[in-house]
Amino acid sequence: MTTLVLCVDRANDIGRKSGLSTPVVGWEAVRSLVTDVGLADPEDSSVNCLLAALRTTRELRDDREDAEIAVVSGTNDSAVGADRAVARQLDDLVERYDVESAVIVIDSAEDERLVPVVESRLRVDAVDRVVVRQAHDIESTYYLLKQFLGDEELRSTILVPLGVGLLLVPLLLVQFTPEVALAGLAALMGAVLLYKGLAIDEFLSDAPDQIRDALYSGQVSVVTYAVAAGLAIVGLFLGALSIRTPGVGGSEEVLVPSLLFVYHSVPWLALAALTASAGRLLDELIGSERVSTSYMNLPFGVVAIGLVVRGFAGFLLERQGELANLELLGRLALTPVQRLAMFIVAGIVVSVVGVRISASVSDETLDDVVDAPRENES
């Protein structure tokens, strides 16, 4: 069984410069071919490819393997014609020699396209890519670019945003100053990086399927999530309306409007989170007839956090004179510290109540409550 060391030349540079037709088979024939091609064009990389094939053949023979060297090339008419010419030459070699496997020697990315043609007829044990040392960096860069451009995901992730950004540069420079144009371009590229880095694209692509599955399965959380989104929008809107034009003052220009926004939006945002968590809690209870401790704790935790945040915001606003003193039952006026303490205590109480309820209503207790009516019916 013979190992065929095959030097492949898809563009037929070897045949055109030497004046010989391929295939060229045999040690002496290929050595003579190296001289002819080297004299015709000493700068041609095909000379190095032929020498590498000769060296590989000698190494295989030194290891007491039956190796034969051959050179095949395409034609100049077309890419399909070149590949078919190489295929015919390979069929002739396989028919004439008892070939078991092949070692392919190539010197360019174009020749590498013939590797599948050889693999369809012989078992390929190795592919030796010959790169001239003086052009090693250029050739390696070419192969890396070829591999990069062949990856569809990398192209869509990097090249498309980069191309859009370059197209926007002249438009932004015409309409705005260079500073504004560069700022807008940087913001665009940053948004694209965050969009891919945070996997927002995957979330958006999966969102329709998840919503459809939730609607078909009859989950309560679909409705509660919609209600929660509406409540959150109301909270943000009311928080924005509460911000009035600030007076003259350094830190007040940012701090006071921010505190007003938090104070007026937190109750609605907490209510939105409570609604969403309640829907999730009902789904778990309906689906598995039990609920885990985490889902039971979530509504109480949301209410507790909302109370604490509103308490601190109200304390700071009251100290600033933006809020009137809080009155209990219309009679007892609370100082800012008393207001803060009351909200903190209320938040802690709600949290403790949630922990106690979650601890008492365990999975086993819920199972007993659900199974009791069934036992009475039976």
What pLDDT score does 249 carry?
A: 44
Whether 125 shows a pLDDT value over 80: the answer reads yes
Query: What would the pLDDT profile of 259-309 be if each residue is shown by its tens digit?
Result: 888 888 888 988 988 888 888 777 777 766 555 666 677 788 888 888 898
Domain positions in the chain: 2-129, 135-198, 199-368
The greatest distance separating any two alpha carbons of the chain, rounded to the nearest whole angstrom, comes to 114
DSSP state of 155: I
Taking the CA atoms of residue 160, residue 165, residue 171 and residue 176 in that order, the dihedral angle to the nearest 10 degrees is: 160
Model confidence at 55, in pLDDT bands (50, 70, 90)?
A: very high
Residue type, 297: N
Query: What would the pLDDT profile of 141-151 be if each residue is shown by its tens digit?
Result: 666 666 666 66
Model confidence at 248, in pLDDT bands (50, 70, 90)?
A: very low
Cβ 246 vs Cβ 317: under 8 Å: no
What region, left, alpha or beta, does residue 289 occupy, with left being phi > 0 and alpha being psi -120 to 50 degrees? left
Please give the Cα distance from 202 to 195 (Å, whole number). Answer: 10
Q: Say which residue, 204 or 41, is predicted with more confidence.
A: 41
DSSP class per residue in 20-82: -PSPEESHHHHHHHHHHHHHH-TT-THHHHHHHHHHHHHHHHHTT--EEEEEEE--SS-HHHH
Q: SS3 of 291, please?
A: coil
What pLDDT score does 58 carry?
A: 92
Cβ 74 vs Cβ 55: under 8 Å: no
Please give the Cα distance from 69 to 53 (Å, whole number). Answer: 7
Residues constituting the chain: 378
What region, left, alpha or beta, does residue 66 occupy, with left being phi > 0 and alpha being psi -120 to 50 degrees? beta
Please give the Cα distance from 30 to 34 (Å, whole number). Answer: 6
Mean local confidence (pLDDT), 218-246: 80
Model confidence at 251, in pLDDT bands (50, 70, 90)?
A: very low
User: Closest Cα to residue 236, out of 247, 228, 248?
Assistant: 228
Cβ 73 vs Cβ 9: under 8 Å: yes
Pairing of strands 327-328, 123-129: unpaired
Query: What would the pLDDT profile of 89-98 be if each residue is shown by its tens digit?
Result: 898 888 888 8
Q: Say which residue, 271 or 109, is predicted with more confidence.
A: 271
pTM: 0.44
